[in-house]
Structures are given as C-alpha cells and as structure tokens.
Amino acid sequence: MKRSHYCGDVRATDTDKEVQLLGWVHRRRDHGGLIFIDLRDRSGLVQVVFNGDDKKLLAEAEKLRIEFVLEIKGKVVKRTPETINKNIKTGEIEIAANYLEILNTSKTPPIEIADPTNEPDEMVRLRYRYLDLRKDKMRENLIYRHKIIKAMSDYMDNKGFLEIETPFLTKSTPEGSRDFLVPSRLNPGRFYALPQSPQLFKQLLMVSGMEKYFQVVRCFRDEDLRADRQPEFTQLDIEMSFVGRDDVISVIEGLLEHSLKALEKDIDQYRGKIIPLISLPFPRLSWEDAMNRFGSDKPDLRFGMELIDISDLVAGTECAIFAKTVKSGGVVKCLNIKQKKLSRAELEKFEELAKKLGAKGLAWMVLESDGPKSPIAKFFKEHELELIFKKAQAETGDILLFAADKFEMACNVLGSVRMELGKKLNLIDANSFKFAWIIDFPLFEYSETEKRWVSRHHPFTSPQGTLDDIEERFLKDPSSLKAQAYDLVLNGVEIGGGSIRIHRRDIQEKVFKILGLPDKEVQLRFNFLLEALEYGAPPHGGIALGLDRLVMMLAGMESIRDVIAFPKTQSALCPLTGAPDVVDPHQLKEAHIRIAA
RNA sequence: GGGCCCGUAGUGUAGCCCGGUUUAACACGCCUGCCUGUCACGCAGGAGAUCGAGGGUUCAAAUCCCUUCGGGCCCGCCA
C-alpha cells in the first residue's frame, strides 16, 4: 500500500491524475448527499469529495469521523473559481474519491486537533502527547527543530568536524549539578552517573588527536525544572584543538548564519515561523559591562533602559543608605523609566520584586513639573539631585528607580526590574533576535552556602594569564581572576557557553587546589584527566549550544516543552508513560538496591 | 526548601470577590435526524459535570475557611 502523493503536495498541475492518499480525517462536512473530508497527513490538508454518484461509497463515507485513518483513491479535479479555498496550499483542487478504505477508527480525541485556538491543559497534552503532536503547532515545531539540527550537522561536517559518541553510563564527578545515578548490577554498590555534559570525554578526544569534534547529545541534570529547563536536554557539543576564543566564536557565528539560512528553504513546512535575520559578528560584551549596563550576565538587548551607576555622585551625600553602601564597597545604580506613568502601587510592586530577590529596598523618584516626588529626595541637596538627573538623562515625566547594594546584588536586582519593566511597558519587539557574546567572565565566584570559591563555568576552564599570575591574584583577590570563557546569549536567554580549557596538569591541579578539593578527592574523581593531560594534550577549547532553548526562541515558543516531543512536567514526571515508577522487587535486588522506608 | 497563580461535562471558558432565581451557563466536540458545493458547512433535536479530593462554617457552599492532591510561573538550585 503506497501513497502517490502527500495530501499537502497535490496541486492544480496534477489535475486529472488518479491519486492515492493516506491520512487522517481532519474535518468532515456532511451535506447528506454530498460529503467533504479534509484529509490530513504530515504535509498538510486536501479536500476529498464524495459526491453521491456512487451510493455505496457515499454510505461508507457517512461512517467517517474525526481522526479516522483512511486510504483514499480518486481523481484530482480543479475547483470552480468560486469554490477555491485560498487558505490552504491545495485549495485550487480537490480529490473526487472513487475508493475509500477505513484503515482504523478513532475514539473522540480529548484534544481538538483541528482547532488551534483550543489548547488543553498541559497535563492533558502530555498525557495524550501523540495527539498533541498531531496539531499544526507541534508538528511544525518538530519539523523546524529537525531542519535546524540537520543544517547544523551538515555545517559541522563540512567544516571537518567528526561526530563522535560518548558514553551515557559514566562517572559521577563532584562540582556541578546533581547527577542522575544508575546502579551497576555487575558491580554491587557502584553507580554510573548520566553525564551532565560530555565535557571530559570531549577533552579526552582532543588529547586523542581528533582535533575537531561535535555531537548532538543528550545531557542530564537532576535539578529543579523551569520553563526552559528539563532534566534531559540536547546540546550541540563542540571541541577543537589549537584554538583560541575567537576561533570558537567564529565557528558558532558561521554555524548560526548557515543554519538560519537553511531554514528558509523549507519555510512552507512551518508557516508562521519567523526566520531571524542576523548580522555578523555578534556584539561582544564583557561580563562586567553586561552586569553594569543591563544587570545581567545574559542581557536582553532588544531594548535599552540601561542601568546608570551613580555611586560617585551619592557617596558624599546625606542619604545615609546610599553613602554607606558606597563607603563599604557597594554600588548605587538607577534605572530611568522614560516618560511612562506608574502608579504608587505599581512602584511598590517593583520594590516587592526587588526585595524578593534579596535587595534591601528599591527607592524611586517621580520627576514631576514641580520637582521630584520621592521618599528620599529630601536627603539630597538641589545640586546633588541635578548631577544625578544629568547623569541619568532624566527630565520631567521620567521615573528613576534606585538600588544600593553589593555590586552583583544591585546589578541583578535592577536587571530583573528592567526586564519586568520591559515586558510591562511593551518595550520588547517580539520579532527581533539579538544575539550577543558575553566574555571575560570571572573564573571563580564565592559560594555563600559552601563557604568557598567555586568555578563559575567549570573547573576545566582556563584562566586568563600565566600560572604565576593566577597564584598571585588568587591570594590577593580571587574574584579578580578572569576566565577564558564565553557565553552566547539570545534575547536574554543563555543558549550556549564554552571556554578554552586547561591543557596542563600543573594548572589544572592548581585550580582544583583553589577550589578546595581535597587531594584524595581529586585523585579519585579526576585522576584520569590529570593523567591524560600529561601525554601531550594539545591546547583546546570548545562550546555547547542548548538546542532546545535555541529552537524554542527561534520558534517563538515560551516553553522548552513545546519543542521537545516527550517532555516532563515541572515535577519531572511523564504523564504519558507514568515514569518514574516503582519497579519489581527482583529488579531492585539485581541492582543491589534496598529502598529506605 | 520557599513565594505566587490555576483546577467547573470529552476540550476551552463564564459563574466564585458580594453564599440562595442556577434546574450550574456558553462555545467547540459528541449522538440522532434533515440537507448535492462546503471548507470553522447549515438547520432541528439530544446526551454529557458527584464544580480536583477530604474536612469545616452555615438553614443553605462551585462560591467562605482549613487540609490535601495535581498542573503552571518564579526564587533557591542548575560547575
């Protein structure tokens, strides 16, 4: 049984041809003696007519219901001008059926496949995912995803990269996210871990002399879920030998340019999608600039409203909160909301948000024609206010929001407020795609919970500078050490990150030491890496792109789940299969596992 | 671990604030009948809901209170 055409591909040029179609009943319009069926397959819709000339066939067609699976044979006929349907690709023709076989019937589906406006509760969508995936939106998203990943693979191949698979059953490493563990039946009491990323294997492949590696690979992290985070997700993982930061960056820029262009070819398979126009090279911002100007290490560059640092202007004022903050090494920053009205209640909402994020408060000034209305204006002298207004380019009708805190806290708080304002005040053009590189990240950050310095990227990231430099600067101020790391950001979302790696044992050991990892632990967990670095490891570096997130952004979706065929709920459950589930006691016994009750 | 929002026929919603004229409404879908040019077909009729679950307040609870379950968004977490 073979089809002659896909439903969506039949055209006026096929007129008078006998065709054979396979598909699902999308909609039916039963006029009694005349029945229309919209037949759907992956390619789209075509109208099939049972015109009543053949009474037996018509009687059979009367049995048809939504989502029945059919084999249809018939003749392609041109529609009369007044019956042409411009809304579908096949609207100039229809199929005059002369044969119908019902290959399968269908219960009434809990999801209205033909109605794009009716989107059921996500629980229903995931429970009946195979039906949800029949809808245009999801089908188009999955095709779009396939096309872009295929284009990426082709590009990598053309550039001489080898796709090499790395193990899923691997070793748990300290640092980083929580591992998913897999018990080893053959080795009682021992566990594999699913990889958080193929990081160490791709480095070992560089030691192996593979030079250019890539992999479209699943990664696993047992952390709490978000709209853009799933416990398993897909990366385009890349590693190269003998490269520096700019080499990696230019590969990715070329990759994205190529892949987005390739999407244009198949645009009719995912109508409604925008193919972003991008211009190379992407802007680069140092981490510090990104924090200073946008209050985020993944700034959304689709709108302005940058943060303004007024620390030097308030240090000597009588505004105690501001002056004290600056004196103790913190910063005072503000946002200028140009010519927008916000009620006192709305301003208080933003203060609430700031406090939730850990700020002590959020001060505001409403610049009215008769002067600034503000709880804190009285602490400033006239000329002090004027300097602040000048720096913030504030004029009557503007509103200023202030945060005073340690550098990162003040930036993050105003950065979040900025994003909320951007959404609330409609400053964001949903059709624009702003890529940017964030570079010169700090190598370490201090973990308050662990009371020690931890890697901001990962412990294999090469520091900027020489070994002596590193020792000296670490002793003086660990936060001043910069990493040879880079993140790719799109519209305020981190879609990739990478670094030049450490390829010398002595430096790697030094970093482990700084991180406070006991020698024994290092020996146990990372000895294989340290050893490998001693056998002619070339300088190398790479990057990984989060493909789910990238596709989500490009496809205009708000959730990563809309570009994953079978995702999990926020509590990491699969409503379709019921995973995770209890297992048979025999299986537990074989895995040498006892459940603590 | 914490904050916020949601849960009403198969699906999407209204009703909830301020308890009683509600016999829980509307749209889609479903069922029956009619219909030869529709394409969101139309027309006539019909079935379908213990209002997530449990408890409480009250003469009276979808509506108020408490508990609990499930879903979503966020903070923490995500080298």
The answer on pLDDT for A1 being more than 80 is: no
Domain assignment present for residue A151? The answer is yes
The answer on pLDDT for A149 being more than 80 is: yes
Mean of pLDDT values over A296-300: 96
Cβ–Cβ under 8 Å, residues A422 and A305: yes
What pLDDT is stored for residue A418 in this prediction? 95
- Whole-number distance in Å between A574 CA and B7 C1': 19
Nearest residue, CA→C1' of B41? A29
Mean of pLDDT values over A46-50: 97
Mean of pLDDT values over A450-479: 87
What pLDDT is stored for residue A293 in this prediction? 96
The answer on pLDDT for A477 being more than 90 is: no
- Nearest nt to the CA of A96 via C1' is B37
- Whole-number distance in Å between A571 CA and B67 C1': 21
Q: How many domains does chain A have?
A: 4
pLDDT class of A597 with cuts at 50, 70, 90: low
Domain assignment present for residue A293? The answer is no
Alpha-carbon distance A200 to A206, whole Å?
10
Q: Which nucleotides of B are covered by protein (CB under 7 A)?
A: 1, 10-13, 28-31, 34-42, 70-79
Work out the end-to-end distance of chain A between its first and last CA atoms, rounded to an integer number of angstroms.
55
Nearest residue, CA→C1' of B12? A118
The answer on pLDDT for A175 being more than 80 is: no
Cβ–Cβ under 8 Å, residues A558 and A227: yes
Supply the DSSP string of A342-370, one letter for each residue.
--HHHHHHHHHHHHHTT-S--EEEEEETT
Q: Which domain holds residue A509?
A: 442-482+504-537
Cβ–Cβ under 8 Å, residues A31 and A56: no
In sequence order, what are the beta bridge partners of A217?
A235
Residue where a domain terminates, one of A48, A75, A104: A104
**Helix runs in A315-434, H state only:** 320-327, 344-356, 382-391, 407-424
Give the type of residue at A137.
K
User: Residue A5: which of A17, A24, A23, A19 has the closest Cα?
Assistant: A19
Same domain as A279, residue A141:
yes
Domain assignment present for residue A496? The answer is no
Q: What CATH number has the domain bearing residue A253? A: 3.30.930.10
- Whole-number distance in Å between A113 CA and B10 C1': 13
Same domain as A521, residue A450:
yes
Mean of pLDDT values over A82-105: 96
What pLDDT is stored for residue A29 in this prediction? 97
Same domain as A557, residue A513:
no
User: Residue A497: which of A436, A419, A563 has the closest Cα?
Assistant: A436
What pLDDT is stored for residue A492 in this prediction? 95
What pLDDT is stored for residue A341 in this prediction? 81
Same domain as A391, residue A351:
yes
- Whole-number distance in Å between A31 CA and B44 C1': 15
Q: What CATH number has the domain bearing residue A50? A: 2.40.50.140
pLDDT class of A593 with cuts at 50, 70, 90: very high
Same domain as A255, residue A175:
yes
Give CA A428 to chain center in angstroms: 18
What pLDDT is stored for residue A192 in this prediction? 96
Domain assignment present for residue A571? The answer is yes
Same domain as A224, residue A130:
yes
Same domain as A230, residue A155:
yes
What pLDDT is stored for residue A465 in this prediction? 87
Same domain as A139, residue A16:
no
Least confident of A37-51, A199-213, A314-328, A485-499: A314-328
Give CA A15 to chain center in angstroms: 45
User: What percent of chain A is predicted at pLDDT more than 90?
Assistant: 81
Same domain as A207, residue A150:
yes
- Nearest nt to the CA of A412 via C1' is B75
Residue where a domain terminates, one of A537, A552, A583: A537
Least confident of A149-158, A267-276, A561-570: A267-276
Same domain as A542, residue A518:
no
- Whole-number distance in Å between A193 CA and B1 C1': 25
Same domain as A313, residue A376:
yes
Alpha-carbon distance A192 to A473, whole Å?
37
Alpha-carbon distance A432 to A549, whole Å?
16
Per-residue HEC secondary structure of A65-88 comes to: CCCCEEEEEEEEEECCHHHCCCCC
pLDDT class of A326 with cuts at 50, 70, 90: very high
- Whole-number distance in Å between A560 CA and B24 C1': 37
Domain assignment present for residue A295? The answer is no
Domain assignment present for residue A521? The answer is yes
The answer on pLDDT for A267 being more than 90 is: no
What pLDDT is stored for residue A10 in this prediction? 97
- Nearest nt to the CA of A195 via C1' is B79
A489: its two tokens = 């950001």
User: What percent of chain A is predicted at pLDDT more than 70?
Assistant: 99
pLDDT class of A229 with cuts at 50, 70, 90: very high
Domain assignment present for residue A488? The answer is no
Question: Binding site: residue ranges of A?
Answer: 175, 221-223, 230, 457, 494, 501, 546-549
What pLDDT is stored for residue A54 in this prediction? 94
Supply the DSSP string of A118-185, one letter for each residue.
----HHHHHHTHHHHTTSHHHHHHHHHHHHHHHHHHHHHHHTTPEE----SSB---SSSSPPPEEE-S
Mean of pLDDT values over A202-228: 97
pLDDT tens by residue, A397-456: 999 999 999 999 999 999 999 999 998 888 998 889 999 999 999 999 888 777 888 899
Same domain as A355, residue A233:
no
Domain assignment present for residue A6? The answer is no
Mean of pLDDT values over A337-355: 86
Mean of pLDDT values over A136-151: 96
Alpha-carbon distance A133 to A566, whole Å?
9
Alpha-carbon distance A515 to A306, whole Å?
34
Mention every residue, 6+ apart, whose C-beta is less than 8 A from residue A525.
A171, A172, A173, A174
Question: Binding site for ATP: residue ranges of A?
Answer: 221-223, 230, 494, 546-549
Mention every residue, 6+ apart, whose C-beta is less than 8 A from residue A350.
A342, A362, A364, A401, A417, A420, A421
A22: its two tokens = 């396979």
Mean of pLDDT values over A245-270: 93
Alpha-carbon distance A243 to A246, whole Å?
8
Mention every residue, 6+ apart, whose C-beta is less than 8 A from residue A543.
A238, A248, A252, A486, A488, A496, A497, A498, A499
